[in-house]
């Protein structure tokens, strides 16, 4: 069964304390892996798409990487405004039955 698991569920960091969020997946062929940021009560905001193992994408303090089994979202020197829930989603490569599978997210709090 296709599955996406994010860890940790919650993470609290001090401002400037770098860390990584994990998204591990088991799918029948990977078509793409997506990272989103969601602020409380708002819709998810698209961050990155990764398509193949070894690929990396960067945006400000965020860097996403991809292997054949997992993706990491590295946060370098985070600021309080980086506090949000980060969602990972994986699109399987199942032809007409392809499907986007969502993880439950990692809730990140960055203290000043």
Partner 1 sequence: EAQVTQNPRYLITVTGKKLTVTCSQNMNHEYMSWYRQDPGLGLRQIYYSMNVEVTDKGDVPEGYKVSRKEKRNFPLILESPSPNQTSLYFCASSLYGEAEGYTFGSGTRLTVV
50 is an interface residue for partner 1 by CB under 8 A: no
Is the bond preceding 8 in cis, omega lying within 30 degrees of 0?
A: yes
- Using the rule CB under 8 A, give the single segment among 10-18, 19-27, 74-82, 91-99 that binds partner 1: 91-99
| Number of CB atoms found within 10 A of residue 81's CB | 9
43 is an interface residue for partner 1 by CB under 8 A: yes
CA distances to 28, 48, 61, 91, 92 from 95, in Å:
10, 23, 35, 11, 9
32 is an interface residue for partner 1 by CB under 8 A: yes
Q: What does the binding site for partner 1 look like in residue numbers (CB under 8 A)?
A: 31-32, 34, 36, 41-49, 87, 89, 91, 98-100, 102-105
């Amino acid at each position: 069964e296709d599955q996406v698991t994010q860890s940790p569920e919650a993470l609290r960091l001090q401002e400037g304390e770098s860390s990584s969020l994990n998204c591990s997946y088991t799918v029948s062929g990977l078509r793409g892996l997506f990272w989103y940021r969601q602020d409380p009560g708002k819709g998810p905001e698209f961050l990155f798409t990764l398509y193949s193992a070894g690929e990396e994408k960067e945006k400000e303090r965020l860097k996403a990487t991809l292997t054949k089994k997992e993706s990491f979202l590295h946060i370098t020197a985070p600021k309080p405004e980086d506090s949000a829930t980060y969602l990972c989603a994986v699109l399987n490569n199942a032809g007409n039955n392809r499907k986007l599978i969502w993880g439950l997210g990692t809730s990140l709090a960055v203290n000043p």
